[in-house]
Amino acid sequence: MTLAVPPARCSTEQETVAAQAIPPVVGARLTVPLVTGERVQYANLDHAASAPCLEAVRDAVDELLPWYASVHRGAGFASQVSTRVYEQSRDVLRRFVGAASTDTVVFTRNTTDALNLLAGAVPRGTSVVLFDTEHHAALLPWRGPRVHRIATPRSPGDALVALDTALAKCAVGPRLVVLSGASNVTGEVWPVAALAEVARRHGARIALDAAQLGPHREIDIRALDVDYVALSGHKLYAPFGTGALIGRADWLSAAEPYLAGGGATKQVVDWGDHLGISWSKVPERHEAGSPNVVGVHAFAVACETITRNGWAAIETHERALRERLRAGLASIDGLAELSLFDGDRDRLGVVSFALEGHDPGLVAAILSAEYGIGVRDGAFCAHIATRRLLGVAGADGQRALRVSVGLGTTDEHVDRLIAGLRAIVAGEKAWNYVQQDGRWVPENDPRPLPPFVA
């Protein structure tokens, strides 16, 4: 397969040094089959959904597995090792987000799990304020008459005014503002510190959904002045089923356990007609069941590895890719990039767009089958935001395409995407495609699955 790609950008000495500091990921040399019979290096441009595993994380998991055992109550030496690993990981996560020593770290499955836990812990009568552009993990856990959703702002300044107005209308009582650090649709970074300042004037607490921000920018919850932060390991290069809720302990300490079961209980007594239950303190109070020791360790190692390699290197790497990507997309006829805010604002390496006259699902299928590229099509679990932005862009349908870069992305991946999109716009494709269960797929797809897949 021959691709017409833009000329390579000359790297500066600073960028070369930064690239050397980027921690390697598992699968960087993975090749995938094409419908044309060739194989190419896989271009993973879907980091915003799930990031690949760091090699350091894989190695750490391999090192831990022989020692894996039950935690907290096991007398065996392996249990003691696993318990130490599990509890030390709390300190790693606390440092990773700049939390205070008094802040609690509750391990969850992911950001969705963490924010649902927090939603169940807010005191009765709490007013919750959030923007309707939130990802579903931050949008859906909050229900009831005291939930106030703010319409999509057109600028960071509009967001500040809208939040101030919404908080002023809240009934007397506790208040919580839920914010995303960065949009998972457009990659635009929200003015968290400025919004937190507005919230503080109204006596509100702030919960930060850092699922997208965490893998790309350093987080300091004390500098941002937020009370809670939710993270996902699978977006932070540790895809082993662990997330975290980090922040103030008082609401969590007063709440009923998120799940009832072993670990959450200090003591259970049979009183005949009922059970007498004493719940554990936080964080164990909200971590019922056997903990995911491997996932927690993987998450902590990912955070340590990223911090040790330095945020400057990551930001330099992703900034160059983002600029290359956006410049290439801007050169394609009929392509409209989606943006929440007016003007060109600070953003991560996440770009969503509509391609006039082209079904996003079909475009994604062609990119996969003929170019070995993985992108996302749909509404990205942020249906309100995506559909509103598509309406503003004048696009048909309810779905868009999203490209997201990360530590495993190279210039060649971006160039291949741009070349593929140009070919698709020009009407070039090497295969026929049909819809199957609502998705576009190559007709009689000849690509062999790997041997371990049945």
3-state SS of 367-379 is HHHHHCEECEEEC
**What is the C-alpha to C-alpha distance for residues 89 and 101, in angstroms, rounded to an integer?**
13
Active site residue 53: no
**What is the C-alpha to C-alpha distance for residues 381 and 246, in angstroms, rounded to an integer?**
23
Structure tokens at 75: 């007398």
Structure tokens at 354: 């509509």
Where helices occur in 142-201 by DSSP H, the ranges are 156-168, 192-201
Where helices occur in 310-450 by DSSP H, the ranges are 311-330, 360-371, 383-393, 411-425
Number of neighbouring beta carbons within 10 Å of residue 388: 18
CA distances from 290 to 70, 215, 262, 298, 400 (A): 7, 27, 8, 16, 40
Q: Which of 304, 322, 324 is nearest to 23 (CA)?
A: 304
Q: What is the DSSP string of 3-54?
A: ---PPPPPPPHHHHHHHHTSPPBTTTT-EEE-TTS-EEE-EE-BTTT-PPPB
Catalytically active residues, by annotation: 381
